[in-house]
Amino acid sequence: MSCILRLSQSLRARGYRVTPQRLAILEALHHEGHLSPAQVYERVRQTGMTEATVYRTLEFLRANNILFAAQREGGHLTYELAGASHHHLICRTCGAQVDLEAEALQRLIACLEQQSGYRLDASHLTLFGLCPNCQACNEIRDPEPRDTRDQVS
Amino acid sequence: MSCILRLSQSLRARGYRVTPQRLAILEALHHEGHLSPAQVYERVRQTGMTEATVYRTLEFLRANNILFAAQREGGHLTYELAGASHHHLICRTCGAQVDLEAEALQRLIACLEQQSGYRLDASHLTLFGLCPNCQACNEIRDPEPRDTRDQVS
DNA sequence: ATCCTTATTGATAATTTTTGCAATAAAGAC
DNA sequence: GTCTTTATTGCAAAAATTATCAATAAGGAT
Ligand SMILES: [Mn+2]
Ligand SMILES: [Mn+2]
Ligand SMILES: [Zn+2]
Ligand SMILES: [Zn+2]
């Protein structure tokens, strides 16, 4: 509540307008985790808002650092209210998600910034891989990753 | 050439088939940098291949570690022949790209893997930020980031 | 060379995301 | 409150991406 009010003021201060559409979307994302544009639309369609507006608004709010965007596998976008910086590890096989404190990467990011001269906005990264469970499954399924080095065709 | 031949054998060994469509796409990506699906299609449409096939084939080759995929700003995918592991820094303002040796992140990735138990496939990451030039521009444009802390409305 | 199995493609439709532009309405001035 | 400016929306069409399914053809066997 107070949170959304503060965001409204911040928007107006930058010359943007606070519309019922933007408020509805912020409300929908309030306390929910990551939502896809379609999921956001579900939660606000009652207001009569268009899908196009959902896409535009999400991108607008992200560009203004009010939302974090994250890429699910395959590149589909997902949004959440921007808050404490954090990152995600997602299992490519079962989809399990783990959150990472930002500081886990902080040092590295700083290091990269110094090396490259870039100022990175890496406050919300997503890395893909295999969770411990799925690693175990794979080992069982592929008992001995056969040696194919010197195989002659 | 020899490169594509090796890939073909690798595919057949896994029970997949080597089709003129797959060869054309690999050929198109040979020596080119990152291409979007549309750009790939441009380069192979003469063969009569469908756009659907381009999308399917790119995803197929990526899933089989023959291509790297990268997300451009906004989440649009881009592909390149998988080769030496490397990462990208992209400027959100001017689009300037910098490549990073993989080893720059290697240590951190290993560290994250140990902490989380995940096995990460972070061989081709893209980070966004501001390049040195655009940082300078912004400083000129926003001379004094005014203090708005105690501003009463 | 011929036959068989089935992985892969083309054609088409469905879905998702983006775009252009006229109509609307937020918010500041009065 | 009314007026004015112009950021924002709805609408409709375009473009990009994905899904379905019958027809095709790769590649192994004979
Ligand atoms: Mn998140
Ligand atoms: Mn690359
Ligand atoms: Zn898993
Ligand atoms: Zn730049």
The CATH code of the domain that includes A25 is 1.10.10.10
Instruction: Decide if B35 is inside a domain.
Output: yes
| Cα B88 from Cα B127, distance rounded (Å) | 6
Give the total number of structural domains in chain A. 2
* pLDDT < 70: residue spans in chain A: 1, 139-153
Same domain for B35 and B98, yes or no, is: no
Q: Which residues pair with B86 in a beta bridge?
A: B101
Same domain for A77 and A92, yes or no, is: no
Cβ distance of A121 and B128 shorter than 8 Å:
yes
* Gap from CA of B21 to ligand 4 centroid (Å): 37
| Cα A91 from Cα A77, distance rounded (Å) | 17
**Is A76 an 8 Å CB contact of chain B?**
yes
Contact of A40 with A33, CB cutoff 8 Å: no
Token pair 């290091």: residue = A111
| Cα B25 from Cα B40, distance rounded (Å) | 7
Instruction: Determine the nucleotide nearest to A16 by Cα–C1' distance.
Output: D7
Task: Please give the pLDDT value at position B58.
Answer: 98
Instruction: Decide if B151 is inside a domain.
Output: no
Contact of B119 with B113, CB cutoff 8 Å: yes
pLDDT band with cut points at 50, 70 and 90 for residue B153 = very low
User: Which residue of chain A is at minimal alpha-carbon distance from B72?
Assistant: A75
Instruction: Decide if A37 is inside a domain.
Output: yes
Task: Give residues lining strand D (CB < 7 Å).
Answer: A 11, 15-17, 19, 21-22, 47-50, 52-53, 56-57, 60, 74-75; B 8, 12, 17-20, 36-38, 51-52, 55, 59, 76-77
| Cα B3 from Cα A56, distance rounded (Å) | 43
Token pair 């639309």: residue = A41
Closest by CA position to B45, among listed B36, B35, B53:
B53
Query: Where does chain A have alpha helices with state H?
Result: 2-13, 20-29, 37-44, 51-63, 103-116, 132-141
pLDDT digits (tens, 9 = 90+) for A44-69: 999 999 999 999 999 999 999 999 99
- Show which of B47, B66, B81 is a domain's final residue: B81
- Show which of B81, B96, B128 is a domain's final residue: B81
Same domain for A68 and A34, yes or no, is: yes
Contact of B103 with A132, CB cutoff 8 Å: no
Tell me which H or E stretch contains B42: helix B37-44
Task: Please give the pLDDT value at position A137.
Answer: 80
Same domain for A135 and A72, yes or no, is: no
Q: Which residues pair with B98 in a beta bridge?
A: B89
The nucleotides of chain D lying under 7 Å from a protein CB are 7-13, 16-20, 25-28
| Domain limits for position A52 | 2-81
Same domain for A77 and A96, yes or no, is: no
Cβ distance of B117 and A131 shorter than 8 Å:
yes
Cβ distance of B121 and A129 shorter than 8 Å:
yes
pLDDT digits (tens, 9 = 90+) for B40-96: 999 999 999 999 999 999 999 999 999 999 999 888 999 999 999 999 999 988 888
